[in-house]
Structure formats: C-alpha cells, structure tokens
Structure 1
Amino acid sequence: MDVVLGVSMAPESVRMVVVEGQNGDGVTVEEDSFDTAAGLGLATLGASEQVVAAILGTREGAAEAGHHLLATGVTWTDQAEAASLRDALAAHQVENVMLVSAFLAAAALAQTVGSAIGYEHIAMLFVEPDTATLAVVDSADGSITDVRRQSLTPGDDPGPGLLSLVAGLEALQSRPEGLFVVGSGVDVAAIKPRLEAATPLAVSAPEEPETALARGAALASANAPLFASSTAALAYAQDPGTGEVDPLAYLGFVQGSSDPSAGDGVLAYSAAGEANEAAVSADTGQRRRPVLLVGSTLATIVVGGVVALAISLAISIRPTVALRPEPAQSLIVPAQQPPRRRPPSRPHRNRSRCTRRHRLCPRQDRRRP
C-alpha cells in the first residue's frame, strides 16, 4: 500500500500523520505526537534531530509492514528550525522530504476540502498568533490568488482583524464558495462562530485541528508539481517592512546555506540519489539508528531521560504503521487468554515386557512356566 507521511513542527511539539494513497488524500493510517527537547526543557537534543529520527523510524516501520512510503512533507513555523532540519536531512542523506511552509500546507488542505465539497474556489484563512492570511484556492489545480495579510497582536482579541479580512469576501472576482479556517497556535473553534456571523459564506474547519498542518504537508509533498504553479502566492512571502520577495518562500522551500563549500547539495529537501542509499544502509549504526549515539554525548545527569525520549521517538511510530486491520486479525488482544488444551495423553507402554517376536528379549522370558 502507498502511504505519505506528514510532519508538523512547532516550537515545543511535533505531530506526525501517515495517510493512505499516492496523493496523500486517503484515510489516516496512523498519527502520533511528541514533545521536543525544548518543550521538555532540555537543550541537549535538537528538534531537527528528533524529527529525522522519527522519519527514519517511520520509514523502517512502513517497509516492515509492506507499505511504500512515497513522500514526506514537513511543515514548520520557525525559519531557523526549518534550516536546521534541512541541514540534518542532508547530513543523514535522507531523500524525498519536502519542507513546506505552514501557509502552503494549509492551502493544500483547503484545496482538498474544496474539491471534496465540489467548490470551484474556496477561501482559506490561516491564523497564527501574530498574523492572519487570507487567500483563495482553486480546487482544481491548487493555484492561489487574492492573498491578503493582517498583523495581529499576540494576546489581544484577534476578532477585529479577522473580521476585516473576511469582509466582502463573497464579492471577490474569484468568487469563493466557502471559507476554510486553519490555525497554528490558536483556537480555531473559538474563532469560527464569529466568522460565521461576519460572512454569508459557509465556514468550515478541520475535524482534527491538531494534525491539520501535518496532513496538509503530506498533501503538498505528494502533489509538489501542482503547488509549484501557484506563483500568485509570492505575495505571502513579501516582507511588509522591506517590500522584498523571497522567490522560494512561496513554495515553502528554505534557501541553501551561504557556505560556498556546501555545493549544490544544500536544498530544502535531500537530493541524495539512489547511489546514496547503499551508504545509508551500510552506515546503519549511525544513520538508521541515530538514537544509539545519544547516550555517549549527553551529560550523565540527563542521559536516562533523553535517551528514553529519543528511543521513543525513533520507534513509537514504527509499529503503528503496521497496525492495519486485516481479515481474521484482531488488533485488541484479550486481557486473559483462554487456557490452551493439552493434547490427549497416550497410553503408557510398559517397555520392560517383551513379546516372543522380539529378538532382543532375554532368553529366560521365552521359557514357558
């Protein structure tokens, strides 16, 4: 079975979702989440290394279960953390991983929702603690138009800023037929009723807002050429202060390092070809199981906690990929197994007696009484 992996990186937590289908639009196979080292108050293990370990562990688990992991998408909110993840992916020679901005991940999810509902165009409102972005997504090809941004003050009521964004939404030239709301670090459920009162359009939100961006990253990575055509999203990358536009930001790609020695291999995703897979397999102890190296580099005070954390990240998702219901297979094992029946005992033969036909019988046994 073909599956796609989506990962959502937040400053203090990471969420992962495995989705069925080569386009990443199938049912959810499995999902998981874990706290980063920063969220646990540990500075000895970077979030990027944790994510790489989890990705590699999920790949191994999918392969062991007979699944084919076609693509992996990782969405991020911190540009510095995304650059660190890119470097970690290159260091471990991990390929087929696409870094997707949170905005593009939300747009990918909105496009899928609009297509499922039957909308030609759907408006997407992406809300962050300090910024809200409104865009119109074409449900057919995923192209993005009519991008607007509104700065918000963290801690204040975002209502006035959001209401000003959606005002007159139905009168746009693209004519969106509905509004899809996605949030990162905000409570979408609290925002949705106020938006419904401010616009005549039908307002919807993800059923599972915690994993919405991870699923959007999976969709974007599985349909990368489709979203590469969304050149109008360049407006989202424009810096309001300088007016400069990052030509790669609209795709969610992270620019390469400025170090000239890095060469062409420094990309937002690992460009390692098939020739490098042999090197990765041969170096299993270092790349396939990076958590094994954690214990030798950490201070003795935090070795136990961090090693346990890293091991759980590398293996916690692996077994769950294989937990797909199969015919005559029960995933829930009863607490008490019924006792096994012992095979019927065979009658005990007295081997001390011999018959007349036994050639090895003692001579005295063959005498008549």
Structure 2
Amino acid sequence: MTQPPDAIDPARRRARGAVSNAPGRFDLAREAVDDGWDREEDLPPFRTEVSVEHPRRVITRNTSPDLSFDRAINPYRGCEHGCVYCFARPTHAYLGLSAGLDFETRLVAKDGAAEVLEAELRKPSYRADVLALGTATDPYQPEERDRRLTREVLKVLARARHPVAIVTKGTLIERDIDLLGPMAAEGLVRVGMSITTLDARLARAMEPRCPTPARRLAAVQRLSEAGVPVRVMTSPIVPGLTDHEVEALLAAAAKAGAVGASWVMLRLPREVSPLFREWLEEHVPDRAARVMARVREMHGGQDYDARWGHRLRGEGHYAQMIAARWRRAARANGLDIRLPPLRTDLFRRPERAGDQLSLFDVG
C-alpha cells in the first residue's frame, strides 16, 4: 500500500483517527526538512494540546432547512475522540490548522462559555427555543473531565429552565445526571447518543478515543433509568462497512431503553474525503473501493454533494434501500415515534445582582 504524501509514522499517531496532517485551506504548506545534523532522531508522538479562547458570544445560529434547530453551543473546537469521518473536521482550517491530526490533537477550550451564555440569555431580545449542545464537536470529550465547561453551561440552562438537546458519544454525560434528571422531568432536555457500530474493533479504528459501543449503550440505559429521554443516532451509516448493522443497532438501542432513533448517511465534505480515503486504505483496503463506489453512487459520482435536502441521506437505489431498512427496523423496535417537543414556556431570563425582581415572580 502506498502511503499518502502527508502520512505520519503510525507510532506517532497511535490511538488517533487521521492518517495524515495535511495543511488546511488557509494554512501554509508544511514540509519536513533536514536540520543538517547527521543523526537519526525519533519524533515524539502527537500529544493533545489545549489552548484557551475567551469568546464574546457562544450561541451560533443557522438557517439550514436540514436541521431541526436554529441555535447551538460547542464549548470546544476540535475533538479528541478522533472520529475519522467527522464532518466538522474542516472547521479547523479557519484556525490555520489541519483537519487531520491537528483537529484531534490541537483543541481550543472556550473558557467562560457559561458566563457568556448567561449574558446572551439575559438580553431583552432573546427568545427561547431548543438549544443544541455539541452539534460540531463533542461536549463530553475527554478534556471535559477536568475543564467542566459543558457542566457549567448546563447549570446556566437549568437555572434558566431553557430547553437543550445534547449530542454526544461520551459516557462522561453520566456525571451530569444530577442536572439532566430534573430538567427531563420538566420536559427541558433530550440526549442523542451516537453509536455507529457494535463492532468494538471497528469502532476503535474509526473512533479511537470514544467509549466502546457497549459502554455507550450502558450510558443510554443509565440516562433512561434517570428519566432522561435518549435518542440513539445510528450515524453515520458507512456504506459497505456498517450498513449491515442497521437492524442490530436499533434492537440494541431499544433494549438499552432508548425512546427514539435517527440516522444520517456518511458525509465527506472538503478535507474529510481524502482523510477518510486514506483511512480506508490503511484499515480496510479490501473494502475501500466498494465503500467509495457506494458513496459516489449516492452523490452523482462525487465524494460529496452539499445540496440541502440531499447531503444527509444521499439519493438513488442504495440510499432508498438503507432508508427503507432503517424505517422498518425502527418500527419493529418501537423507535419510530415522534418525540414531543421540548418546552420553551418555562424559560426565565437569568437574573444578576441588582436586578429588580418581578412583582409576580414566585419561584
């Protein structure tokens, strides 16, 4: 197998998802050079580095017709989970970094995110609606264990009785059941747990620093037992690699206590396409051509088609077959229900010292 020109020595990228670290769209070219000393040197492994950002705002808005929410918070840029297929990898280019190994090793933590969020919710013009937490990068990635940015954000939302939909692969979410349980009792929270495969070895290669699939299912059960509604996201479905697991995944989700499910087909925008193809050639070379043939079949001969209404599911006979199988399996496992909307009528603007209390505020 021919290594890609930007491939990194496997010893340096152990337990990482990307094979290479090619320059981003707005980055200068990177090239290894000989320093002139006539001796061999072993380069160190890629370590996770975290820099700090002090944001002026944390709520981002979107107008995409493909999404069910119009606002989101991501306490971190980059994600140590290292999912090779992650559609958010190209966002690292805006930082002058690579969508490859930089995305999973050079993170940015948004310190003070909770305080900024509180100020945004306090604005007279703000109107409550479901806030998505973790739509681009995982709010419960390993760095959250110490930094607790996500927990502080949840505390603000809980006090404001603001609805939130959380998306994660991280079982660290169990730590916050003390906040999520009471919010769920008021109809203010829903969790989406992403489980791509039940094959632990495949998951280890595709999502190297995520909890195992079995451990994520256990988290679904714990959250469900605490009264938190969980939707299992069988996303992305990777054609020719995980598509045969649709029925087994949904059956396991239902057994763990999930109350709903959703799915998205593999997406390969911008830099994700070459990164994923490199990964296929290294980890499953016997299936690489078949996987990419299916991907292109669904996108008009391209690796990706970004059209709204198309990019999440693809089109054509194969896409239709997967959709039909998924619907049938969801129905068979009682996961095809439409969950009730989260409540927005309980929202109360956060107060700060010196605010005049409402004459009618009793709680």
Q: Choose 1 or 2 for highest CA Rg.
A: 1
**Same fold, TM-score > 0.5, yes or no:** no
Q: Which has the higher contact order (CA 8 A, sep 6+)?
A: 1
Q: TM-score, normalised by structure 1?
A: 0.28
The structure in which a higher percent of residues are strand is: 1
